[in-house]
Amino acid sequence: MVLATNLGFPRVGADRELKKATEAYWKGTLSREELDVVAQELATRHWTLQQKAGIAHIPSFDFALYDHVLHLTAALGCIPARYNWDGGKVDNDLYFAMARGNDKVTAMEMTKWFDTNYHYIVPEFEEGQAFKLSCDLIFKSFEAAKAAGIAARPVIVGPVSYLLLGKKKSDFCRLTLLPGLLKVYAEILNGLKARGAEWVQIDEPFLALDLDDSWKTAYTDAYAELRKSVPDLKILTATYFEALRENTELAFSLPVQAVHIDLVRAPDQLDAALKAIKKEQILSLGLVDGRNIWKNDLSKSLTLAEKAIAALGSDRVWIGPSCSLLHTPIDLALESKLDPQVKSWMAYATQKLDEIAAIAKGAASGRQSVAAFLEESDRVVADRKTSSRIHNKDVKARVAAITPDMLSRKSPFAARRKAQQDVIKLPAYPTTTIGSFPQTADIRKARADFKKGTIDAAAYETAMKKEIEHVVRYQEKIDLDVLVHGEAERNDMVEYFGEQLSGFAFSQNGWVQSYGSRCVKPPIIFGDISRPTPMTVAWSKYAQSLTSRPMKGMLTGPITILQWSFVRDDQPRSETSRQIALAIRDEVADLEAAGITIIQIDEAALREGLPLRKADWKQYLKNAVDDFRITSCTVEDSTQIHTHMCYSDFNEIIDSIAAMDADVISIETSRSQMELLNAFQAFKYPNEIGPGVYDIHSPRIPTEKEMVDLLDKAAAVIDPSLLWVNPDCGLKTRGWKEVEPALEHMVKAAKSMRAKAKQSAAA
């Protein structure tokens, strides 16, 4: 019998209960016991939801208070020395200190989970790293599911992928850690077996990435050892986000009972999988998109399922999502204001469970058994192909008319820099922020009241202008050099723009987890994109009128808007990005015409959009660079173009970053202690750069000395005349009590560096 299965479910709750509970715990208004109750109620609710939908294999331990990789790190006892861990059970305080830092210790690094917009906490490895089972949550999760009547399939990141996800803190081969790591994995798996687990899901997403021979051997050795240590537990090895390609034989050669493949991202890999699968192995087909919100083409999915069944038989085929449903909102039924036609094209996690069950039923019992599902699916497919709301011939014609001269600034950087210095007149180590300031309760209330209609547009504009003036005056007070307006009027750096562009729709409750308690509500790109009217000009012009200091115009770039949205799947993503680039180009031109001399176009997500296979990088990077140049190359030499990028490893794409030709780039570097600057030094990055000196993802307030130390490290690898001083990222998630001392320390640090530079020059 074909089984309907799932790989993971969203954690935050339909009303973001987990977010609210964890933030209350951090504030001290919720006890640890009360937090645990909320977490367990959510996990049980989600298990029951999956059971009612007809899912046969329901995951446990996919739930996490902050991050599933951090959960595993805690379970493995892989605790960095700076936390002074006593070797006992890892509790909530230690867990959250690793995630967020505190007054005494910095947080662990955070980076993107492959090419998604989810962030995980990066494991840290020292030479000789010891591992020990230090947290029993994986067992408690399974037992709680069992008590709720759920025969769960525990899910855990695999040992080889865990090593590849981590970061070495010294120069050694991390494969030397594998034997010790496998002992703890064996202890975990045997513990699950003893508690009644029949299956365990071991996620090995790196099997779908480029691997050298040493890591391929590691897979073979690791699973041979696990099978020897845990002979009776059935293992599903789950791969996702890409095709197995040259690793197909490797994946199916492992001594496991089932292998999962992503047929949404890579449908063509089915044939290779059917050839490589071993006798009696089960093939799990990822047919429902775990990363997007469009309804499944059930006829297309059933065709793939039927092909697998014809080759293997119905007992050796499972149906599931392409990956964990973590990346999708919970329930479309909660959306009461979405346009009915657009809503009819969509499915959230709850609806995707029904799709998985329908495909499994249709594959097992014939298409007539799911005739109503198929009829509705076919209608949606036909509707999206022909809808005039999706297809705009004028937008397509404008993309086709792009010319090479639209991709180049008028002069090279050296000439532009002189022109900008003549106009902007900044000191050495100029200070600025990345754009947003704290989104206070008053700001959120005014926005909510405006949306509800309890205040009119004039009252809302007055409230926002008051906030903008407060931010401007504060920046003047602490003597920042380049100001921002604080983005009080913006709910989100992508949603704000999407609300003003054609081709976008917006949800009320389409929340997904970005990191920890940070939830985002991605815009929905359903059609061709254009800009009907200016989006930011009035706000920026007003802010500039308040001060004689330069005011940055703040925009989000096309790749970031693309990456942080749910994107239409009926045309190449590169085509959608190009449409966004033209819309942002129009905004850049209008900002310059309004007298804004510095314009920041954030491409925070450029690195995360990089294809997972290096063979696919070249075309993506060319498209991304061209899109940025389309947005920015409409201005005069004297207008300074900035961009910002989030946590990224820049080493392998530094030439493409340079090719973007932004006058100034700001990057997140404080958590890595400026290590990311090594890429810019080795490449001899030619333009100006602002390495972040203030980790805004932590509530911790850095001292002036800490910031000076970071700037000294930066000045040792980058020409000091090219350095800017700024936080790692925008400040919207922090409170004013944190922001004020941190920024004041930052300005003092910059002035200290200027003084040292003068002393050095005099000497």
Annotated catalytic residues are 697
CB within 8 Å of 116: residues ≥ 6 apart:
241, 291, 327, 608
Map 645-704 to HEC letters.
ECCCCCHHHHHHHHHHCCCEEEECCCCCCCCCHHHHHHHCCCCEEEEECCCCCCCCCCCH
Note the Cα 41 to chain centre separation in Å. Answer: 26
| Long-range contacts, stretch 568-571, CB < 8 angstroms, 24+ apart | 568/294, 568/390, 568/525, 568/526, 568/527, 569/289, 569/292, 569/294, 570/384, 570/385, 570/390
Indicate the SS3 state at residue 61.
Answer: coil
DSSP 67: -
Q: Is 272 helix (H, G, I), strand (E, B) or coil?
A: helix
| Angle between helix 457-478 and helix 736-762 axes, rounded to 10 deg | 40
What are the helix (H) ranges across 195-269?
213-229, 248-253
d(CA 162, CA 514): 20
Per-residue b/e over 262-298, b at no fewer than 16 CB within 10 Å?
bbbbbbebbebbeebbeeebbbbbbbbbbbbbbbbbb
The span from the CA of 517 to the CA of 512, in Å, is 10
Beta carbons of 526 and 566 less than 8 angstroms apart: no
- Rounded to whole angstroms, the Cα distance separating 559 from 602 reads 9
Angle, to 10 degrees, between the axis of helix 441-452 and the axis of helix 457-478?
A: 160
Q: Which residues contact 600 (CB under 8 A, 6 or more apart)?
A: 434, 435, 552, 553, 554, 555, 641, 642, 643, 644
What single letter denotes the amino acid at residue 410?
K
DSSP single-letter state for residue 2: P
Six-digit token pair at 375?
Answer: 């009829």
- E strands in 99-249: 110-112, 119-121, 124-125, 153-157, 167-168, 199-203, 234-238
Q: Measuring CA to CA, how many Å separate 271 from each of 307, 445, 521?
A: 9, 55, 37
CA dist list (Å): 252 to 161, 237, 567: 16, 9, 32
Plot region of 72 (φ>0 → left; ψ -120 to 50 → alpha; else → beta): alpha
- Give the H or E element holding residue 376: helix 371-386
Q: Which two tokens stand for residue 174?
A: 């991390």
Alpha-carbon span 634 to 403, nearest angstrom: 12
Q: Is 194 exposed, middle or buried (0-12, 13-18, 19+ CB in 10 A)?
A: exposed
Q: What is the CA radius of gyration of the chain?
A: 26
Backbone angles phi, psi at 394, to 5 degrees: -70, -40
How buried is residue 151: exposed, middle or buried, by Cβ count under 10 Å (0-12/13-18/19+)?
A: middle
Q: Which of 662, 658, 581, 661 is nearest to 623 (CA)?
A: 581
